[in-house]
Every structure is written in structure tokens, then in C-alpha cells.
Amino acid sequence: MTFLDQLRTAERQNGSLLCVGLDPEPAKFPEHLRGDASKIFDFCAAIVDATADLVNSFKPQIAYFAAHGAEAQLEKLMEHMRRTAPQVPIILDAKRGDIGSTAEQYAKEAFERYGADAVTLSPFMGFDSVAPYLKYHGKGAFLLCRTSNPGGDDFQPQHLRDVPGQPRLYEHIAALAQGPWNLNGQLGLVVGATYPAEIERVRALAPTVPLLIPGVGAQGGDAVATVKAGWKSVEGTTTAPIAVNSSRAILYASAGPDFASAARQEALRTRELLQNASAF
């Protein structure tokens, strides 16, 4: 089963457009775990177990593990997710963007060491920074396209060559992902929930490409506007799935021993919000 098949299946089985981001910060852990980086696996595994039937994907952010020397805990977490939630694909949020033999090593890290189903990439060094990942049959690669951070305005919405009428940079990336770069049909795009009008534009340019949409929850993105812009239905099925990511709002829904059940309640609330939006 390819990553795209996995994402569609999880969306259908769990009735969900929600991606839970796993960004563990020991300083924000519940009191009985707080500040203990050796408990990263325990914290994340509890979140996974509490939400696995409510999501269409999980998205561990590699920097939150590497910063604490917790790569072994990430490997253990990946194994745990594959064993306990095999129906839910895993997107490794790494934002790699190098070329040549270095890109090959990063691809090996994502797909062989960690066993991810998809990875996030920066496409700004060109197609040769993406090609090594496409050699892994069935694996997905999400290209940064229109991100939710304020600094994204510095380049992404600018016209190529500063000429009105030329495509904007994010539009150019969307067209490449829909067309010539998408050799195996497994490319996706990262578009921020804080720009629903631009999500709609990306979806128009890339109608069959899955979208990973961060920025809902703590970052303030409008979940309803996001779904209306990015999720399209044809005779009851999506033309391409979306994964709307929420991290901190779910992970840190409670600072007490009930943190996992509180995370589940927040995930339930967010899933329902997204599903209701998709009905319009």
C-alpha cells in the first residue's frame, strides 16, 4: 500500500482529516514527567495510544527528539506506532533539503532507519534535492510550498522575476508537484492554515496532490476555512486527502496525570470540527 493509499484509508476508517503532531518538549510535560527527557517515548506513546482511532496521520518532528539526544526513543516510538496503529501513516517532519549523496543519506534515515511513510522536504535546491526520496517505492514526500510562519512572506508569495503575471513562487512549486516532479505520484505539499485563500489556490493548481496543513490550534489557523479551501469531494470521495495538523493544543491539553485523556478529548473536538467543515 502506498502512502497515498494509507492516508486515504486512514481518513475513511477513522473518519478524520486530523494529523497529530508529536513535538515533545520535556519542559511542558505533565508534572510527573516534567523536565525528564528520558520520558519522551512514554509521553508520546501515551498520546498515540489515546488518539490512534481519531487521526489520519501522525507527524513526529525530528528536532524535538534530536535536541535531547532522543533518537533511540524516536526509533522506539516509530516501532510502537507501526505495531499499535498500523492503519495510521507516519509523516517524519524533517524538512530536509540537501542534494546528491547527502540527500540519499537523509532519505535512508527517514525511510530505512525510522521507517517513516512520508517525509517533509524543502524543495528550494531544486529537483535533485527531491529525487533520492522518490526512489523509495510507495513513500511520500511533502514539499514546503506556502508555510504558516510570518517569514514565509519574504519569498513564497512573490512573483518569479518580480514580474506581475508571472507565477508566484508557491504557485510554481505547486505546479511542479502536480506535474513534472511527481514521478511516482507520491508528492504532497505543505501549506499553512493561516492562509486559506492560498490553500485554495494551491488546491486549484494541484488537485490530485495531498496537502499537509499545519497551523491549526496554537498557531491560530481557522480549521473550518482550511478544510473548505483544501478538501474537495467528488461523488463523496476526496480527489486528494488533506492532513490538518495540530500539535501543542492536543499534546498539552492538560498538565496533570490525565494528559492522555485530555489529549483525546481535544483530538475528538478537532476531528469533529474538521469533519463538520468538510460537509459544506
What whole-number distance in Å separates Cα of residue 237 and Cα of residue 5? Answer: 13
Would residue 33 be called left, alpha or beta, if left means φ above 0 and alpha means ψ between -120 and 50 degrees? alpha
Q: What share of the chain is helix, strand, coil (3-state, %, to 5)?
A: 45, 20, 35
The three three-digit cell numbers of residue 192, written as one number: 499553512
- CA-nearest of 213, 145, 136, 155 to 176 is 145
Please pick, among 95, 108, 228, 232, the residue that the annotation labels catalytic.
95
Active site residue 108: no
First to last CA, the chain: 30
To which residue does cell 520520558 refer?
A: 39
Give residues with Cβ within 8 angstroms of 33, minimum separation 6: 26, 39, 42, 43
- The DSSP line for 154-183 is GTTTSBGGG-BTBPBHHHHHHHHHHTTT-T
To which residue does cell 508566484 refer?
A: 168
Q: Which residues pair with 60 in a beta bridge?
A: 22
Query: Hey, which residues are catalytic here?
Result: 95
